[in-house]
């Protein structure tokens, strides 16, 4: 495909793409992103399922970097669900203050810690059906914990995954559960966790919300939204992060 200015553009998937073609394209995207981001991983620091669960809950409306700066003190003071559940809320709030919404986050992590003690013997359960019963824990958080702490494949539909699933033409839904279902039907189950990491890395480093770096995108030729961002290769490369 050639634009009016003579620039060669990758050809986008056809609008009438068949389910089989979409599945094959989704898997090619996954393989290509694996090459682009070989270090894709969970960017929250943790040493146990409990630490990852708490860190994921705390990451709402803030950055992973900020959470990683805050959790060492939190876990040094309160290393397990029992100690965090029994802690003085004001003291927990002081630790969590840098994250913003620290009162709500204190209630959330103390509430889920109390539930772990009362209903699961102080252990983080390894099943989604149990995790989502904890206060403040939805499917996104549960899948993060399952995929990264227990090795159970899970698709994490955060804001990056939702945005990119639309841009890449892999889902048209705005409902995270429906997006999870759509992606789960396209990508091999064993790849769910790593696919999530790769897409999130791509959203943070290349396919930005406001000005994606289309001209430096490794999956441009498989993306029906190619052209919504910067097309010039040099200008696009300058936008890349990480």
Active site residues: 140, 158
Contact in structure between 149 and 169 (CB atoms under 8 Å): no
As given in the structure block, the two tokens for residue 51 are: 């630490």
76, 143, 68, 75: which is closest to 109 by C-alpha?
75
Place of tokens 């990758």: 10
How far is Cα 105 from Cα 188, in angstroms, rounded to an integer? 35
How far is Cα 156 from Cα 37, in angstroms, rounded to an integer? 17
Task: Spell out the residues 6+ positions from residue 104 whose beta carbon is closer than 8 angstroms to its own.
Answer: none
Contact in structure between 69 and 75 (CB atoms under 8 Å): no
């Amino acid at each position: 495909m050639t634009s009016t200015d003579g620039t060669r553009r990758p050809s986008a998937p056809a609008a009438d793409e068949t389910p089989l073609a979409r599945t094959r394209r989704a898997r090619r995207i996954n393989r290509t992103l694996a090459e682009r981001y070989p270090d894709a991983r969970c960017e929250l620091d943790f040493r146990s399922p409990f630490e990852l669960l708490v860190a994921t809950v705390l990451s709402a409306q803030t950055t992973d970097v900020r959470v990683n700066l805050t959790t060492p003190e939190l876990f040094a003071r309160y290393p397990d669900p029992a100690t965090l559940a029994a802690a003085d809320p004001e003291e927990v709030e002081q630790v969590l203050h840098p994250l913003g919404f620290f009162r709500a986050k204190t209630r959330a992590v103390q509430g889920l810690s109390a539930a772990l003690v009362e209903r699961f013997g102080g252990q983080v359960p390894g099943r989604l059906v149990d995790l989502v019963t904890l206060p403040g824990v939805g499917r996104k958080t549960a899948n993060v914990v399952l995929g990264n702490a227990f090795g159970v494949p899970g698709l994490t539909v955060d804001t990056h995954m939702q945005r990119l699933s639309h841009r890449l033409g892999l889902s048209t839904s705005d409902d995270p559960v429906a997006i999870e279902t759509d992606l789960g039907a396209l990508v091999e189950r064993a790849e769910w966790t790593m696919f999530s990491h790769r897409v999130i890395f791509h959203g943070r480093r290349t396919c930005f919300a406001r000005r994606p770096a289309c001209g430096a995108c490794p999956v441009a030729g498989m993306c029906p939204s190619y052209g919504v961002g910067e097309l010039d290769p040099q200008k696009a490369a300058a936008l890349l992060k990480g």
